[in-house]
Homo-oligomer: A and B are copies of this chain.
Amino acid sequence: MSVVVRHIARADRSTVDALGGLGVATIHEAQGRTGLLAARLRPIFPGAHVSGTAVTVSVPPGDNWMLHVAVEQCRDGDILVVAPTSPSDAGYFGELLATALRARGVRGLVIDAGCRDIAELTRMGFPVWSRAVSATGTVKETLGDVNLPLVCAGALVRPGDVVVADDDGVVVVARPAAEDVLAASRARAEKEAGARARYEAGELSLDANDMRGRLARKGLTYVDQEPGE
């Protein structure tokens, strides 16, 4: 049975927006190195950085019908997260669907499949993270699901979870953990700002983080010249 879930609990908007001010790598680290989608998802143009609440879509290979169904379920501040039930590089998404999503306030698309109309999407500034660019067309024959939990590019995404994406890739933050992850991410960002200042001044991380003793105990040896030369 194919299902569309109409009412989902979305992460708190202010938390979502605050997470969007932090980088994917920082958030990934702050939540214990979890939640990262596979690195095969790449942005279609550089420089985008968005956060939003996930509306999830499970689609058949080569069939984008459910994307049309999903548009209706989107609200301002959402990000569409799409995974095919078997691998497909077809061009599921293009300018027209982006126009429809933008009209509803959707902030971007994450899709473990192909995308097309790259030039138009770039002009619109509508960001997409996809595993392929392909003009290959899709059909509208077979159903899927909207707003059920799914695995996208190796990560579990539940409807309403927070999705953050930038030039490094895509990370998902579970809705119940969003506040805590935000706090941990901010703490990490502050710590990194401190480190950055010290490194700019020439301090070494070996000293700043007191690594020399542990390195020596592990057996690191400094020599003046390459052994045997």
- A residues neighboring B (CB under 8 Å): 1-8, 23-25, 28-29, 33-34, 36, 38-39, 42, 45-47, 49, 60-63, 65, 68-69, 71-72, 85-91, 94-97, 99-100, 103-104, 114, 116-120, 122, 132-137, 139-143, 147-149, 151, 154-156, 159, 166-169, 171, 192, 195-196, 199-202, 204-206, 209, 211, 215, 218-227
- Given known pairs A3-B221, A151-B151, the reply for A168 and B133 (CB within 8 Å) is yes
With both chains docked as a complex, state the minimum distance between the C-beta of A59 and any C-beta of chain B, in angstroms. 11
Neighbour of A96 across the interface among B63, B199, B201, B220, CB < 8 A: B199
Q: Are A142 and B139 in contact (CB under 8 A)?
A: yes
A148 CA to B87 CA, complexed, in Å:
26
Give the residue name and chain of the B residue nearest to A90 (CB). Answer: B86
With both chains docked as a complex, state the minimum distance between the C-beta of A130 and any C-beta of chain B, in angstroms. 11
Q: Are A99 and B226 in contact (CB under 8 A)?
A: no
Tell me which of A149, A211, A223 has the highest count of chain B C-beta atoms within 10 A of its own C-beta: A223
Tell me which of A3, A87, A167, A199 has the highest count of chain B C-beta atoms within 10 A of its own C-beta: A87
Q: Are B36 and A136 in contact (CB under 8 A)?
A: yes
Contacts of A147 in B (CB 8 A): 226
Contacts of A65 in B (CB 8 A): 211, 215
Contacts of A29 in B (CB 8 A): 137
